[in-house]
Amino acid sequence: MSRVTIVPEEDRLTTQIAFAVEIDKLKRIVRRNLLMDGSRRENDAEHSWYVATLAMVLGEHAPPGTDIQRVMAMLLVHDLVEIDAGDTFIYDPVAVAAQAEAERAAADRIFALLPDGQGTPLRELWEEFEDRKTPEARFAKALDRFAPILANHHTEGGTWQLFKVTAAQVREKVRLIEEGSPSLGAYARAIVEESVARGHLPE
């Protein structure tokens, strides 16, 4: 049997497939939020798909000139670091304090798995999302924060009640939504006030 010589193109494909296998692990990372039917908690891959799809559907609520395709790409990669760092519950100050360092180390490893010329652009998308300095990043972050509020609203308080989250804590997250999209921010704020009125979110 003759020995097959691997050419550079095949090396590149092998590396890309290895990355594909690695990011499948995102499906194992379970988030705190419930699905809207309350049947179970969602995983990170489901969340990433969902918010990327919301970018398409709600793109008209982004600032004028926002590159929605870039927003979608950002949302598809924004949680890849949680393969190593795990999901951080945004209402846990201790976990949030350790989040940046853990996720940066994860980004160093995960994006480096890709061939030259591919890993760097994806890493830059992740950095852009984290820095929130562009309209695209602020809109992406707005959607990332909007989705859990919508889910908790449709599960009668969901994880808010489970983890004793207060209205003041949620309103603080709404500010991030307002930075990326005033209309989505106003909608999220209305959800919070309705949840308070229904007794699903304590003051």
Region of residue 38 (left: phi > 0; alpha: psi -120 to 50; beta: else): left
61 is a domain residue: yes
| Averaged pLDDT in 10-residue chunks for the chain of 203 residues | 52 96 98 95 98 98 98 98 96 92 97 94 98 98 98 96 96 97 98 97 94
Given this model, what pLDDT does residue 116 score? 82
1 is a domain residue: no
4 is a domain residue: no
Given this model, what pLDDT does residue 2 score? 45
106 is a domain residue: yes
46 is a domain residue: yes
41 is a domain residue: yes
121 is a domain residue: yes
- Structural domain including 39 reads 10-198
Which amino acid, 146?
F
**What is the DSSP annotation of 35-97?**
PTTSSSEEEHHHHHHHHHHHHHHTGGGSPTT--HHHHHHHHHHTTTTHHHH-PPPTT-HHHHH
C-beta separation of 88 from 148 below 8 A: no
Given this model, what pLDDT does residue 202 score? 94
Q: Specify the DSSP class assigned to residue 200.
A: S
Given this model, what pLDDT does residue 5 score? 43
CATH of the domain at 82: 1.10.3210.10
Q: How far apart are CA 39 and CA 136, in angstroms?
A: 32
Looking at the structure of the chain, the number of domains it has is 1
Contact residues for 74 (Cβ-Cβ < 8 A; gap 6+): 125, 126, 128, 129, 136, 137, 140
5 is a domain residue: no
Q: How far apart are CA 123 and CA 129, in angstroms?
A: 10
**3-state DSSP assignment of residue 145:** helix
